Structure 1
Amino acid sequence: MTEQGVRWTAEQVLALAPDDASRKAGGKLGSAGPWSGTGSGGGAVWGLCKGSGRTPYRTVVDVTGPAYTCSCPSRKFPCKHALGLLLLWADGGVDAVGGDEDVKAPDWAEEWLAGRRARAEAARAAADAGGPGDPGPADPEAARRRAERRAARITAGAQELEQRLADLLRGGLASADRPGYGLWEETAARMVDAQAPGLAGRVRELGALAGSGPGWPVRLLEECALTHLLDRAWLSADRLPGPLAATVRSRVGLTAPPEGPVVRDHWLVLAQYDSSDSRLTTRRIWLHGRSTGRTALLLSFGPVGRSPQLAFPVGAVVEAELRPYEASGGLRAELVELVEQFATPAVPAPPPVGGPVAAALAAYGRALREDPWLDTWPVTLTDVVPARAEDGWQLADARPPADAPGSAGDAGHVAHAVAPHADERPDTGLPAAGEAPREAIPLTRAAQNHPGLWRLVALSGGAPVTVFGEVGHQGFRPLAAWAPDAPGETVPLV
């Protein structure tokens, strides 16, 4: 992207914030008051921000990354100063300095930018020369023995976990909350010792479910069944089809490099959000290829308390090369190369092709055949309306199906049929009196209490919208939406 290109919107900038506190603090710094020495050019923005000390903070943003540096002591990434500077730039408050070939950034900014350019040139030169590549293990036989030893440890861990599950069911789930979380954590630690972090994660989830609220024994039984299925799949992995065996290896925690063919496209950034546990912060970035029609997931990780470095502004388009992983249904991919950096598209980027609620649920059902441990699957719902039901918010088809009502597909247990009521207004999204029931999908519990829900309701205003999100056994989580009168404007919901 160049100066020279289209500036980001304020909404795209705020989508980069690692948390709500940074979003609010960055918003306060988005005016010219605290800034001096600002400038932009060559895909970079810089400025000095007055703080509580005598020396202002030096902030530089490479918007082609994006990447950030700031002299402040914040551990957040990007910090509030970088967000404030980008907001000021997005609002036209930062003047361009020179052009691509004649950028006069101050020395303190140019030093950091030059270092980034040098590293990028070195990486390109290595790629052009064939690069050092991955020469493989120095000793293939030693690598094979290490892999066998780890597989044996995981097998022992899976067998021990099977015994733990059998003891749990023999004693009855109703009393599973009495030992407390310590016993679950001890079992999880045993899975870590067995070098099976995927199994350890599932054990911790079981421990969190015990006594977690009304109906917890049912939820615990479901997760125990899935964990048992994963154990048995690992113990029988040699008899599984190749793709399913790769999924099992990934689920128990055996990582493998991406091996699919490189896919080059102009990718629309659909959504970006973080999730954290006591050890790691995980950032999920959903992309949609304009030419290929593929949906891809990039994962980026950071230590607890710090957001990952990879960050894309929602609604922007980037030309990039991705290499998919074999497992995860081919959704997860690795970023190989950014060919052309971020820009708001001159031609509106349309949302992914979607369908009604039944089609989305059927897609999730098909994905479950390939990966029974799949929590969610990305889908796009078209012509749906947010509607309030007795048990919470849901997204309902704006029109009843031609053969209404029918099966919702392989995962149809998630769907609801919206029944007609005589006193409903025509703009509520629910059927009028005498209309056939429409398919609807409930929002997840987290989405019911998220501010993005009200943004979606306001965007719809009772009219049909297109919504991208993740569907799973707990319902639908909306991540982005498009209004009918602005199909090229991606509205983030997380």
Structure 2
Amino acid sequence: MTEQGVRWTADQVLALAPDSASRKAGSKLGTAGPWSGTGSSREGAVWGVCAGGGGTPYRTVVDTADTPGGFGPAYHCSCPSRKFPCKHALGLLLLWSGGEAAVPAGRAPDWAEEWVAGRRRATRGQEEAGTAGSAAGSADPEAARRRAERRAERITAGATELEQRLTDLLRSGLVTAEQAGHGLWEETAARMIDAQAPGLAARIRELGSIPGTGPDWPVRLLEECALLHLLDQGWLHRERLPQALAATVRTRVGLTAAPAGPPLRDHWLVLSQHDTPDPKLTTRRIWLHGTASGRTALVLSYGAAGRAPDLALPVGLALDAELSAYPGAGQRRAALGERFAPPAPTTARPSGISTTEAAVRYGEALRDDPWQESIPVTLDDVIPVPDGGSWQLADADGDTALPLTPAAAARPGLWRLAALSGGAPVKVFGECGHRGFTPLTAWPVGEGAAVRL
């Protein structure tokens, strides 16, 4: 499923649940409270002891690594459950997805080490018996291909079911979405998790938050349903798409992929860092700008609900490091590789564009990835000004402006931006999308350090 030593996301973990009951029970155990003696190794083992309801603790160990022959992951727990993975294994993996503060790296206890070693010996023996002439320890590409095909079949079944549900919604009328309540969407999202399509599940949950939120909610719901339908159709007809767009569709439905581009070393200016909390997961978005390459890249880091992700980079400093890009049309996400020096002060700033150019650039980006909520943009010489009950960023030397998103207009950072400007032009980095512009960092004209908004 992923590289050894790389922690999975919460959605990846929940996609392993055998049913909705296990998913719910596992989520309750994804906190530190019932666990003790937790740990993980770079070789892919995760272990811990969970307090049992009857006073008997349960020893749980998970081998996340793909073993020779394509066997893995695997689970072992001393509880009497016959489900694989059981709720304890799911809870342990959810805790592990929160980062090293929750499940630190270390040496496995004897009981966990013995099970992992025995499991790997057994699967290695199966691989050697089934593949004449293959070297011990080599992976079986045919087994990997079959696993990928089985998951693709499950996603296709889920996408087909989702198409029917969208059709039923439109036939019965959007008003039924408000009457049905959030349960309708949560049940549909759970079906997509069962189909191992966490990306579809996330978009469905977003749909569930729209009904009844303002007078124009039916219009917004119809727009999001159309985008979800487009993603569904993209998956069902992915073989007809250009390679880069097909890679984007795979990413959007929730299939993970390893970085595909060669490492790019640069001095990366830390443009912004902000967290998006979720009931089960905290996502940290870090935007970096290559001072030599001119490339802007997004690095994601995750933490369990209520805990900050491990990766933290100070805004305004520069980092000498390598980044590797993920595949996909319009994809800006990258993996942070080797770091050659700690973040250091810099006078570098990203080059900027006008508000008109920003709107055009977002429109062009939608051709590569129609599901993009926003793109990174640096605006030059703009002034924050009130606009009725909201705010906008207006070009100092023109008559155009970008409205701020409703969420941005309500953030305390807006007043820091207004104070930094004082009616004078400033340089602003943020995310520009169909809802407007979200300012994240600003610089005064001339000299001055970056101000995190």
Structure 2 unaligned blocks of 5 or more: 1-97, 108-135
For residues 326-341 of structure 1, the aligned pairs below 5 Å read: 326-327=327-328, 329-341=330-342
Which whole-Å deviations, capped at 9, do the CAs of 1:370-422 have from their partners, x for residues lacking one?
0000001000110111111124100011112xxxxxxxxxxxxxxxxxxxxxx
Deviations 1:343-393 (A, max 9, x none): 223xx12x2111110111111111100000000100011011111112410
Residue 491 (1) aligns with residue 451 (2) = yes
Aligned to 2:211: 210
Tell me whether 1:470 sits opposite 2:420 in the alignment: no
Task: Please name the residue that 2:407 is paired with.
Answer: 446
Q: How many Å separate the matches in 2 of 1:463 and 1:215?
A: 35
The Cα offsets for residues 84-133 of structure 1, whole Å up to 9 and x where unpaired, read as xxxxxxxxxxxxxxxxxxxxxxxxxxxx9xx9xxxxxxxxxxxxxxxxxx
Q: Residue 422 of structure 1 aligns with which residue?
A: none
Q: CA deviation at 1:137?
A: 7.4
Matched, 1:249 2:209: no
Q: Which residue of 1 aligns with 2:364?
A: 366
Distance 1:198 1:77, change over 3 A: closer
The whole-number CA distance in structure 2 between the counterparts of 1:395 and 1:136 is 58
Q: 1:78 to 1:273 in 2, by over 3 A?
A: farther
Q: Distance in 2 between matches of 1:241 and 1:150?
A: 21
Which amino acid in the other structure matches residue 367 of structure 2?
R
Confirm or deny: 8 A CA contact 1:319 1:341 kept in the other structure: yes
Q: Is this contact kept in 2: 1:289–1:295, CA < 8 A?
A: yes
Q: Deviations for 1:453-493, whole angstroms, at most 9, x for unmatched residues? A: 0111111111111100000110000011111132x521111
Counterpart CA distance in 2 for 1:377 and 1:317 is 21
Larger radius of gyration: 1
Aligned residues of 1:269 and 1:314 also touching (Cα < 8 A):
yes
1:461 aligns with 2:422: yes
> Residues of 2 paired with 1:137 and 1:266: CA distance?
38
How far is the alpha carbon of 1:452 from its aligned partner? Answer: 0.6
Supply the distance in 2 between the matched residues of 1:390 and 1:136 (Cα, whole angstroms): 67
- Tell whether 2:298 aligns with 1:290: no
* 1:3-42 matches, cutoff 5 A: none
Aligned to 1:37: none
Offset of residue 187 of structure 1: 0.6
Matches within 5 A, 1:127-276: 138-276=139-277
Deviations 1:301-337 (A, max 9, x none): 1111111000001111110001011126241110111
Distance 2:434 2:142 in 1: 43
Which of 348, 356, 373 does residue 354 from structure 2 map onto? 356
Distance 1:319 1:136, change over 3 A: farther
Q: Deviations over 1:253-274 (max 9, x none)?
A: 0010001011100111110011
TM-score, normalised by the number of residues in structure 2: 0.69
- The offset of 1:212, in angstroms, is 2.0
Alpha-carbon separation, structure 2, partners of 1:335 and 1:236: 32
SS class of match (1:209): coil
Aligned to 1:446, what secondary structure does the other structure show?
helix
Q: Secondary structure at the match of 1:326?
A: coil
Amino acid at match of 1:452: G
Match of 1:92 in 2: none
Whole-Å separation in 2 of the counterparts to 1:138 and 1:281: 34
Structure 1's 151 and 215: CA in aligned 2 closer, same or farther, altered over 3 A? same
Measured in 2, the distance between the counterparts of 1:385 and 1:205 equals 32
Letter in 2 for 1:453: L
Q: Is the contact made by 1:466 and 1:482 (CA closer than 8 Å) also made in structure 2?
A: yes
Q: Kindly provide the amino acid, as one letter, of the partner of residue 291 in structure 2.
A: R
For normalisation by structure 1, the TM-score amounts to: 0.64
The answer for the alignment partner of 2:59 in structure 1 is none
Q: Secondary structure of the equivalent of 1:352?
A: coil
Q: CA deviation at 1:77?
A: 9.8
User: Which stretch has the larger CA shift, 386-395 or 224-233?
Assistant: 386-395
After TM superposition, list the pairs within 5 Å mapping 1:64-75 onto structure 2. none
**SS of residue in 2 equivalent to 1:268:** strand
1-structure distance, mates of 2:359, 2:137? 42
Q: How is 1:79-98 mapped onto 2 (pairs within 5 angstroms)?
A: none
Aligned amino acid, residue 471 of structure 1: C
| Partner SS, residue 479 of structure 1 | strand
Q: Is the 1:385–1:464 Cα contact (8 Å) retained in structure 2? A: yes
Aligned residue pair count: 324
Secondary structure, counterpart of 1:153 in structure 2: helix
* CA root-mean-square deviation: 2.1
CA distance in 2 between partners of 1:375 and 1:136 (Å)? 43
Change (3 A) 1:330 1:169: closer
Aligned residue number for residue 72 of structure 1: none
Identical residues among aligned pairs (%): 62
Q: Tell whether the 8 Å contact from 2:248 to 2:331 is kept in structure 1 after alignment.
A: no
Distance 1:260 1:219 in 2: 36
Q: 1:483 to 1:177 in 2, by over 3 A?
A: same
Match of 1:308 in 2: 309
- Alignment partners' CA distance in 1, 2:391 and 2:366: 25
CA displacement at 1:222 relative to structure 2: 0.6
Letter in 1 for 2:334: A
SS in 1 for 2:343: strand
Q: Deviations over 1:45-93 (max 9, x none)?
A: xxxxxxxxxxxxxxxxxxxxxxxxxxxxxxx9999xxxxxxxxxxxxxx
The residue type paired with residue 374 of structure 1 is Q
What one-letter code is carried by the residue in structure 2 that aligns with 1:282? T
Question: What amino acid is the match of 2:449?
Answer: E
Q: What stretches of structure 1 move > 4 A for 4+ residues in a row?
A: 76-79
Report the Cα distance in structure 2 between the residues aligned to 1:137 and 1:196, rounded to whole angstroms: 29
Indicate if the aligned counterparts of 1:137 and 1:143 stay in contact, CA closer than 8 A.
Answer: no
Mapped partners of 2:355, 2:175: distance in 1:
36
1:308 and 1:145 mapped to 2: Cα distance? 34
